[in-house]
Each structure stands twice: as structure tokens, then as C-alpha cells.
Structure 1
Amino acid sequence: MDELSAVTDLLYGPGTAIPGLSLTDEEAMAMVRQRFPYTEYCLVRDWQWLELEVTPAERDQLSKTGRQPVLVYAHTVVYDVSAP
């Protein structure tokens, strides 16, 4: 039960607020299409940035492909370009 409580606290507990942009959904999608015209994207709300614990070897592997050991967990998906 302690693990369940820890996960619940992680996903639904208070965190550090990160300021965002005050855009309408349409403005946000237009900005993404302008800046990244060939990239798929999701428009989300109520999201969290989770930093993952990885070994140095795993960090090196991620770094080789330009990735970081993080996860964006979204409570609300407003729009997903790859959804049918």
C-alpha cells in the first residue's frame, strides 16, 4: 500500500509550478505548426514533468539520441495529432 500511496502522491500531489503560456488551443496549435511543421504533437493540460532515475550507462544511451531521462505525464490530452 505504501507504493500505491507514493505513486498517488507523485501524480496528484502538489509540485513545483512552472509558468506556461496563456494561449487558446488554436493559438497553441498554430504556434507548434509554425515552429515544427513536420513533427507530431499533443496539446495537453494539467501536466507534470517527472525526472527519472537512471544509471550512468542509461543516461549515456539517452544522450546519444538527444533524449533526457524525463517523462511528461498529462492528466488531460486536449488534442493528439496522431489520434484517429
Structure 2
Amino acid sequence: MGNSSELELLQEGEISSFGTEFSRVEIEALVAERFPRKAYCLVEDWLIFHVDEPQESLAKVRASGLEPMFLYSHCVIFDGHGRFPPGGWVRSTLCKSFDGDCLFETRNTVYVLVGKGREMTASLKTIFGLC
């Protein structure tokens, strides 16, 4: 995250009621139970983007089995794949499922939302303009 307009964007949106305060042991047990063969990534200081695009585009995404949502986190706590260093940032691919609480699944990873975060609706240009 380099420029101040990106930082300002991440502080916009509605404060979300999602996120967990579970311990690392509790999170590992939850992920192992719900997604036994999938790596997970713990993130905090997160933002869920709901894609703001024409309905036809959103319908195509849903028809492919995905949801028009992305996750951005300014702070990775742990990445089971070893792709993102602790303290680094991550932007997910499209959402496969979201449990409405703290588990945001993509095709390859389950992102565990730790603590409070935000949600907002944004265009793909805005979402992909971040980092």
C-alpha cells in the first residue's frame, strides 16, 4: 500500500459484524473440520468488497459457482501456503463461499477473518487498483 488514497479507501465502508476472536487453536480446529484439505490464511485489518458491476456480469460470476466478492487484507497473520509473509497484504480471488461469520473461501484458500473489518461495494477498477 503506497499512496494515501489507497489507505483512505480501506478506512471507508461499513464496519462489519463479521470476524472472529477465536484463538489460533480454535481457528485451526474450525478450518480442519469445515475444510479438511484446504490451506488457510489468517488475516486482520480486512475489507470485503462486494463487486459493483452490471447484473449480467454478476450473473455470469454466480453461474460459474462463485460469488462477486473479494477480500483484501492489509495484514496477513499466517498463510498456510507460505505465499504471503506475516504483516504483508493479500487480495483474494473471487469468493467461492462465505459463512457469514469469519470463513471466506476461494478456490484454493480459506481466509479466516480475525477481529473487526469493513465491507464496501466497489467497482472492479477500484478493487484491482489496490496494490
TM-score normalised according to structure 1 size: 0.74
Q: Percent identity?
A: 27
Q: Which amino acid aligns with 2:71?
A: V
Distance verdict in 2 for CA 1:14–1:63, change over 3 Å: closer
In structure 2, C-alpha distance between the alignment counterparts of 1:83 and 1:5, rounded to whole Å: 28
CA shift digits 1:25-53 (9 cap, x unpaired)? 22212210111102232111111111121
CA shift digits 1:56-82 (9 cap, x unpaired)? 222122111221211111121111111
Equivalent residue for 1:74? 73
TM-score normalised according to structure 2 size: 0.52
- Structure 1 stretches of 4+ with a deviation exceeding 6 A read none
Report the secondary structure of 1:41's partner residue. strand
Distance verdict in 2 for CA 1:68–1:19, change over 3 Å: closer
Which structure ranks higher in relative contact order (CA pairs < 8 Å, sequence separation ≥ 6)? 2
Listed as ranges, the gaps of 5+ residues in structure 1 are none
Superposed, 1:1-84 pairs within 5 Å as 7-13=6-12, 15-83=14-82
Q: CA deviation at 1:14?
A: 6.2
What is the count of residue pairs matched by the alignment? 81
Larger Rg, first or second structure (1 or 2)? 1
The structure with the greater share of residues assigned to strand is 2
In structure 1, C-alpha distance between the alignment counterparts of 2:37 and 2:13, rounded to whole Å: 35
